[in-house]
Chain A
Amino acid sequence: MKYLSICSISFLNLISISMTCFFCSLYFLLNNLVYFIEWEVVSLNSMSITMTFLFDWMSLLFMSFVLMISSLVIFYSKEYMSGDVNINRFIMLVLMFVLSMMLLIISPNLVSILLGWDGLGLVSYCLVIYFQNIKSYNAGMLTALSNRIGDVALLLAIAWMLNYGSWNYIFYLEVMQNEFEMMLIGSLVMLAAMTKSAQIPFSSWLPAAMAAPTPVSALVHSSTLVTAGVYLLIRFNILLSNSWMGQFLLLLSGLTMFMAGLGANFEFDLKKIIALSTLSQLGLMMSILSMGFYKLAMFHLLTHALFKALLFMCAGAIIHNMNNSQDIRLMGGLSIHMPLTSACFNVSNLALCGMPFLAGFYSKDMILEIVMISNINMFSFFLYFFSTGLTVCYSFRLVYYSMTGDLNCSSLNVLNDEGWVMLRGMMGLLVMSIIGGSMLNWLIFPVPYMICLPFFLKLLTLFVCIFGGLFGYLISVSNLYTINKSMILYNLTNFMGSMWFMPYISTYGVIFYPLNYGQIVSKSFDQGWSEYFGGQHLYQKLLNYSQTLFLIHNNNLKIYLMLFVFWILILVNFLLFL
């Protein structure tokens, strides 16, 4: 290539900013530094709308991770999107997306966070509808509108923050946490976070957003869009602990985790399985956050970002080789045909399952052990551990379908493992998926958590994982004579496999009324009553009256005579009574 491509330039830029952020973060962490930069846009009635930037170790670390992942994803897209005519537009959109995420991360102000928040929503919309087909159109609309609910909630929260005289919420959270207004703001912010992080009533957009190109999925699902909600709530964590909001969120996020884990076991679309697994992990982050352990949520958010981005990148490489087919039933034996990609795939999958000493283990195991020593009810406990089992279950099912056995795709398909640019992008994250967990563990928790558990509880996580993996492998094994088990309880399968009908509810379920009302309003207001009491009726009336008046002008003798008589009568009347 004669010129440096946009991908390489962006890669170099992003990775260098990422490194800078990382070392700044270390410096800030060591010295307990926080920088708070504020620019006043306008001040009205002693309320100032400000653009606020907060640099602390958490935001810098998060930024460095986001930038690192996005740089590698852009590097990867150089090959993945190489056949695309509009690759420049694509990369620019991705850069805008990363920029929005940066702005979101560093804004601790409810007004200035909108810049990043709305930016994420809008650019993600453009990225989801990047491919020109009906499916991506619908998915984009679902994504954008689900996220818009969150935007509206944030706008209303802004209106309520007027009570406190500033939108820098960090000053007010602790002092005002028991006030009704602050609870209201908190619940609106929670609503916003739930839409962005696809918690239960709003989950359906996340698998739908898989219509985006795979590098975008890798970015969106690992560290950017979906984690924005978690990150916002981490900033708002004071409001969650010890209030009904935390309990409510615990329930919903636990259910999200469970629902997504269950759904992934019934799914055959490679990207959708990974999307559902993201959803399940988001549920995990949200639930531990709602119990008050915001550092753990942040920890899992970061480690998850690493291996999930890798998982998506592997999926992209596989999809390329499978002639753009995403159906896992057509895969098989990939570990023979694409050994390096498969290795990455397996590492990230195992990290997701919490395989000891990979990235996911440190955060996930810690979360589960904290859950065990915390004071929570049986139901939430069940949701946590069953979902953990389900995660391993669908991961091993995925491994069974794609990695083992024989290739089930078209026999004319040639697989190769020589997408070197893509592989190089993956290698960077492979290293991070292995060492990232322990590295962050040492960084974030200088003082370890004290965990004291009986032997069997300590083994519970391990047991659940092993059992889940075994189960996932065994139920997937099928041969010609196997009874299709999912057909036996078809209704139940249908329910669990379709995310508890949420995609139907949030599309067909809600679209009818607005459109129908639109028709009714259009027919009976705009072209109905408003016209009747407005222009048209007035016009008709005037027409009728002037037609009546025309009678006089007909030169009819009788009418003239009649009018003459009337006139005489009036005159006589006047004469008599005056």
Chain B
Amino acid sequence: MLKLIFFLVFLLPLCFINNMFWMVQVLLFFISFLFLLMNNFMNYWMNISYFLGCDMLSYGLVLLSLWICSLMLMASESVYKYNNYKNLFLLNVVMLLLLLVLTFSSMSLFMFYLFFESSLIPTLFLILGWGYQPERLQAGIYLLFYTLLVSLPMLIGIFYLMNKMGTMNFYLMNNFMFNYDLLYFCLVCAFLVKMPMFLVHLWLPKAHVEAPVSGSMILAGIMLKLGGYGMLRVLSILQMMNLKYSFIWISISLVGGVLVSFVCLRQTDLKALIAYSSVAHMGIVLAGLLTMSYWGLCGSYSLMIAHGLCSSGLFCLANVSYERLGSRSLLINKGLLNFMPAMALWWFLLSSANMAAPPTLNLLGEISLLNSIVSWSWVSMIMLSLLSFFSAAYTLYLYSFSQHGKIFSGVYSFSSGKIREYLLMLLHWLPLNMLIMKSDMCLLWL
């Protein structure tokens, strides 16, 4: 793991040299391929050095972080073009990536917590520094404090664990089991907010709407997965407690997912719609994960990866429209099919991924999660079917409202899609549809 960390650390000075924007981006791609070839497809910790290590679960998420961060730079060409503090932007992104890689590859719970929290700071800077409206201040505060409010109890919980177990190592932790309600809530709530579960999801739409495209991509792509990742890690010591309490979270996220889908149908803001759809999808992930069945745990990992790629791609598309029309409103983003037919194809492909159409990874994840949740309780069939139905409804609404019909008459002129944008979409879509061919890599982590 150290080579990865060193690579990223030594990338930091490069950010200060002018006109190194694309160089950094290419190097990030380089490191993602390098990491891809590390091939640790085993179900145990590999590449161990100091507190860092990598098992299947970490591997997928580290790879996703590397991939999404390189795509983030590709998507934020405007930062480079208009010289919107591009060096600081680069520094911020690489810093964030470094912290995320450290988060996912920490083998120690405390280190995980430390980097988990510190990754908030570059994200906050992204929103505050490169966001659009003055409301981004509020959004930043929401992002920070929703997470902090519940993660400080988690810190106490971690101290308690350290005291009891004498180790923070994930692998050694598996030997312990705690039947302590307060500890359960301390440890789990932080991740529930991060996921986010319905009712504590308010920070997410706000942050998404205010964030620049790179911020949205990292939020939807990686930050939400931090919650799922952490949950998968700590659940192993809290199994008994989870059996007792999981029904609360599962119910909230299933019902909440349906309610959020209703909210999606009322959105007129492209980004808000995609953000709310993330809440609905992560609701299924959370529900499947907490059933603690094999299918659920594997499916949640699979859907996390799939959703990371798919929603990040949708945010990119929203940004493509935004850069041309200057608005995210669906009343202005209309009839784009006539002007950018090739981009409409990408809209369609990523929308269909969002509604879990085959052969995407989303479908694989959704099927596994359906299996686990229906096995958990057949009553959840009602909410699951509604969720699945409305996910198609709002995604089609998103697609057809933005692509079909008359073009907004106030628009004067804009360029059609650029190669960079098509490549960006391709790199989101390709893994999403190709990974299904080797789906044990993104399903069988346990």
Contact = CB atoms under 8 A, between A and B. Distances in A.
B321 interface: no
Given A44-B295, A49-B364, A162 B375 contact: yes
B348 A152 contact: no
Interface string A24-57: 0000000000000000011111000100000000
Contacts of B381: 156, 159
Interface stretch (A12-20, A326-334, A390-398, A521-529): A521-529
A41 B436 contact: yes
Given A41-B439, A514-B265, A525-B259, A155 B358 contact: no
A225 to B, nearest CB: 16
Contacts of A158: 367, 370-371
Interface residues of B, number: 59
Contacts of A42: 364, 439-440, 443-444
Interface in A407-427: none
Nearest to A529: B199
A268 interface: no
Contacts of B375: 159, 162
A133 B400 CA distance: 11
22 contacts: A44-B294, A44-B295, A44-B443, A44-B444, A49-B367, A111-B367, A114-B363, A118-B363, A119-B358, A122-B357, A132-B405, A153-B385, A158-B367, A160-B374, A162-B295, A514-B262, A518-B264, A521-B262, A522-B262, A530-B200, A530-B201, A535-B202
Interface stretch (B63-71, B211-219, B387-395): B387-395
Interface string B55-67: 0000000000000
Given A132-B404, A521-B263, 10 more contacts: A42-B439, A44-B443, A86-B341, A122-B357, A144-B392, A148-B388, A149-B389, A156-B374, A522-B263, A525-B199
B420 interface: no
A526 B263 contact: yes
Contacts of B440: 42-43
Interface of B: 141-142, 145-146, 199-203, 205, 259-260, 262-266, 294-295, 298, 335, 337-338, 341, 348, 352, 357-359, 363-364, 366-368, 370-371, 373-375, 381, 384-385, 388-390, 392-393, 396-397, 400, 404-406, 436-437, 439-440, 443-444
Contacts of A173: none
Contacts of A155: 366-367, 370, 385, 388
B393 A162 contact: no
A148 B259 CA distance: 19
Contact of B357 (A111, A118, A132): A118
A141 interface: yes
Given A44-B295, A535-B145, A115 B392 contact: no
A126 interface: yes
Contact of B390 (A44, A118, A134, A514): A514
A228 interface: no
Given A115-B358, A132-B405, A535-B145, A141 B366 contact: no
A44 B400 CA distance: 37
A137 B404 contact: yes
A351 to B, nearest CB: 36
Contacts of B202: 526, 530-531, 534-535
B266 A145 contact: no
A140 B348 CA distance: 14
A151 interface: yes
Given A41-B439, A152-B385, A517-B259, A137 B358 contact: no
Contacts of B373: 159
A184 to B, nearest CB: 9
A145 B294 CA distance: 32
A530 B389 contact: no
Interface string A437-458: 0000000000000000000000
A49 B368 CA distance: 10
B368 A44 contact: yes
A129 interface: yes
A132 B406 contact: yes
A45 B392 contact: no
Given A45-B294, A155-B388, A534-B202, A132 B348 contact: no
A40 to B, nearest CB: 10
A153 B389 CA distance: 10
B26 to A, nearest CB: 33
Contact of A145 (B264, B352, B392, B406): B392
Contacts of B389: 145, 148-149, 152
Contact of A132 (B263, B338, B368, B439): B338
A518 B392 contact: no
A549 interface: no
B305 to A, nearest CB: 14
Contacts of B367: 49, 111, 155, 158-159
A551 interface: no
Nearest to B366: A155
A535 B141 CA distance: 9
Contact of A89 (B199, B341, B393, B436): B341
A534 B443 CA distance: 35
Contact of A122 (B259, B262, B337, B352): B352
Interface string A111-126: 1001100110010011
A54 to B, nearest CB: 18
A49 B444 CA distance: 13
Interface in A84-135: 86, 89, 111, 114-115, 118-119, 122, 125-126, 129, 132-134
A514 to B, nearest CB: 6
Nearest to A110: B367
A530 B338 CA distance: 41
A544 interface: no
Contact of A530 (B199, B396, B400, B437): B199
B295 A515 contact: no
Contacts of A530: 199-202
A538 to B, nearest CB: 8
A156 B335 contact: no
Nearest to B302: A42
Contacts of A41: 436-437, 439
A41 B433 CA distance: 13
Nearest to A115: B358
A156 B259 contact: no
A242 interface: no
Nearest to A114: B358
Contacts of A151: 388, 392
A519 interface: yes
A119 B348 CA distance: 12
B54 to A, nearest CB: 21
B392 A137 contact: no
B265 A518 contact: yes
Contacts of B199: 525, 530
Contact of B295 (A45, A126, A531): A45
B398 to A, nearest CB: 12
A23 B359 CA distance: 31
Contacts of A535: 141-142, 145-146, 202-203
A414 to B, nearest CB: 31
A90 B338 CA distance: 14
A89 B341 CA distance: 9
Interface in A276-330: none
A140 B400 contact: yes
Nearest to A158: B367
A150 to B, nearest CB: 10
Contacts of A145: 389, 392-393, 396
A126 B351 CA distance: 12
Q: What are the 7 closest A-B residue pairs judged by CB atoms, nearest first?
A: A518-B262, A518-B266, A159-B374, A148-B392, A115-B358, A42-B439, A159-B370
Nearest to B375: A162
A133 B367 CA distance: 35
B393 A514 contact: yes
Nearest to B138: A535
A137 B405 contact: yes
Contacts of A518: 262-266
